[in-house]
C-alpha cells in the first residue's frame, strides 16, 4: 500500500455520495497516478463533477451532501479529523467550467491565494512581482498581459480568464490541479491553447480533467476513467480505453451510442 500511495496522488476506496436521497456516487474506487493527466469521461449527469469536487471537499458546502468511504490524497486520508480544509485546498487547486476570475486586477488575482494565506506585508513587493511574472509566464499570459496587470480580470477574453484561473493556483504550489470541463466555454482556438498549456504543466502537477469531449480526452490525457450512473466502469491508459475497451458499456459510449 505504501509504495502504491507514493505513485498515486489520489486514491478513493468505496466512495459513496448522496445528495439528500439521491446517490450520485456508488462505491467508486480509483487510483490517479502522480504527474499524469487523467481524464474523467462519461455521459452528462454520471457524477464526474461530483467525484472531482470530492477531492478537495468542496461538495461539503451543501448541507444535504453525505459522503462515505475513503479518499487518500498524497498519502493522507482527507477525512482525518486533523485535516484542515484550508491547507487541503492549497494543495488541490480547482479550475471551473466557466472561468471565474475575481473582479479585481489581474495582478491581484494571481496573488490572491498568497494574500489569503499570509499577513499583509509578509512579502516584499519585488518578490510578489516576481511571483506574478513567473505564474503568468507559466500559463503563457505574460507576454500579452505584462502591460495590463492593473486591468480588471473580468474584462479579459474568456481564454485569458481561464488561463488566469490556472495561474492563480500556481503561487500556492499545488500538487494536484482539478479541471472541470475547462474548455466548454471556449472556442476552438481557446480550447487548443488550454490543451497546450495542460501539456506544458504535465509532469509537474497531477491533473484530473473532466470532459464530455472524447476527442479532447484522447488528445490530452494519459489515462482515462469512464463513469456511468455514478459508478466507475473502466480505468485504463487512454489508448487502451479507446482502442480496446474492456467493458462493453465503454465501447458503446465511445462509439456514441449514448451520452
Partner 1 sequence: MPMTNNLDPAQRFTKTEFVVRKERIQSITKVLFAVMAISMIIPLLLIIGYLFYHALPSLSWEFLVEVPKKGMRDGGIWPAFVGTLYLVVISLAIAAPVGVFAAVYLNEYAKDNWFNRIIHLAVINLAGVPSIVHALFGLGAFVYAAEFGYSILSAALTLAIMTLPVIIASTREALASVPMPFREACWNVGASRWQTIRAVVVPNSISGILTGIILQVSRAAGETAPVMFTGAVFYKAVERGELFPYQLNEQCMALSMHLYTVATQVPNVKESIPYATAVVLLCSVLLVNAGAIALRVWLRNHKKW
Minimum Å gap between C-beta 206 and partner 1 is 16
Q: Which of 46, 106, 177, 208 binds ligand ADP (CB under 6 A)?
A: 46
229 belongs to the binding site for partner 1 (CB under 8 A) = no
Between 102 and 128, CB nearer to partner 1: 102
Binding flags for partner 1, 167-206, as an x/- string (CB under 8 A): -xx--x----------------------------------
47 belongs to the binding site for ligand ADP (CB under 6 A) = yes
75 belongs to the binding site for ligand ADP (CB under 6 A) = no
Handedness of CA 95, 98, 102, 108 (dihedral sign): positive
Binding flags for Mg ion, 26-55, as an x/- string (CB under 5 A): -----------------------x------
Cβ burial, residue 12 (10 Å; 0-12/13-18/19+): buried
44 belongs to the binding site for ligand ADP (CB under 6 A) = yes
DSSP lists the bridge partners of residue 19 as 22, 65
Is 27 within 8 Å of 231 (Cβ atoms)?
A: yes
Query: What torsion do the CA atoms of 118, 123, 125, 129 make, to the nearest 10 degrees?
Result: -70
Between 52 and 132, CB nearer to Mg ion: 52
Q: Please measure the distance between the N-terminal and C-terminal CA atoms of the chain and give it in whole angstroms.
A: 36
Cβ–Cβ contacts within 10 Å for residue 65, how many?
A: 17
Site stretch for ligand ADP (CB under 6 A), options 18-26, 98-106, 148-156, 157-165: 18-26
Site stretch for ligand ADP (CB under 6 A), options 48-56, 85-93, 98-106, 215-223: 48-56
How many residues bind ligand ADP (CB under 6 A)? The answer is 12
Binding flags for Mg ion, 176-215, as an x/- string (CB under 5 A): ----------------------------------------
Alpha-carbon span 230 to 209, nearest angstrom: 17
112 belongs to the binding site for partner 1 (CB under 8 A) = yes
60 belongs to the binding site for ligand ADP (CB under 6 A) = no
Is 195 within 8 Å of 186 (Cβ atoms)?
A: no
Alpha-carbon span 205 to 177, nearest angstrom: 7
Binding site for Mg ion (CB under 5 A): 49
Binding site for ligand ADP (CB under 6 A): 19, 22, 24, 42, 44-50, 62
Binding site for partner 1 (CB under 8 A): 56, 58, 61, 63, 85-90, 93-94, 96, 98, 100-105, 108, 112-113, 116-117, 152, 165, 168-169, 172
Amino acid at each position: 500500500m505504501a509504495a502504491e500511495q507514493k505513485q498515486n496522488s489520489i486514491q478513493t476506496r468505496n466512495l459513496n455520495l448522496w445528495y439528500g436521497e439521491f446517490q450520485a456516487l456508488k462505491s467508486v474506487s480509483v487510483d490517479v497516478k502522480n504527474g499524469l493527466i487523467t481524464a474523467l469521461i462519461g455521459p452528462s449527469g454520471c457524477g464526474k463533477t461530483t467525484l472531482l469536487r470530492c477531492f478537495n471537499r468542496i461538495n461539503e458546502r451543501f448541507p444535504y451532501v453525505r459522503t462515505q468511504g475513503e479518499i487518500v490524497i498524497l498519502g493522507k486520508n482527507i477525512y482525518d479529523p486533523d485535516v484542515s480544509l484550508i491547507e487541503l485546498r492549497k494543495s488541490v487547486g480547482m479550475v471551473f467550467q466557466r472561468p471565474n476570475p475575481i473582479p479585481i486586477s489581474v495582478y491581484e488575482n494571481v496573488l490572491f491565494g498568497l494574500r489569503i494565506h499570509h499577513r499583509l506585508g509578509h512579502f516584499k513587493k519585488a518578490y510578489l512581482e516576481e511571483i506574478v511574472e513567473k505564474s503568468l509566464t507559466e500559463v503563457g499570459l505574460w507576454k500579452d498581459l505584462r502591460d495590463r496587470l492593473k486591468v480588471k480580470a473580468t474584462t479579459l477574453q474568456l481564454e485569458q480568464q481561464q488561463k488566469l484561473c490556472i495561474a492563480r493556483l500556481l503561487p500556492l504550489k499545488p500538487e494536484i490541479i482539478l479541471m472541470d470541463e475547462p474548455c466548454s466555454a471556449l472556442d476552438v482556438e481557446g480550447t487548443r491553447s488550454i490543451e497546450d498549456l495542460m501539456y506544458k504543466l504535465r509532469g509537474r502537477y497531477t491533473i484530473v480533467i473532466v470532459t464530455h469531449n472524447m476527442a479532447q480526452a484522447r488528445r490530452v490525457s494519459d489515462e482515462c476513467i469512464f463513469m456511468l450512473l455514478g459508478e466507475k466502469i473502466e480505468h485504463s491508459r487512454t489508448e487502451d480505453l479507446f482502442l480496446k475497451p474492456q467493458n462493453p458499456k465503454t465501447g458503446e459510449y465511445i462509439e456514441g451510442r449514448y451520452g
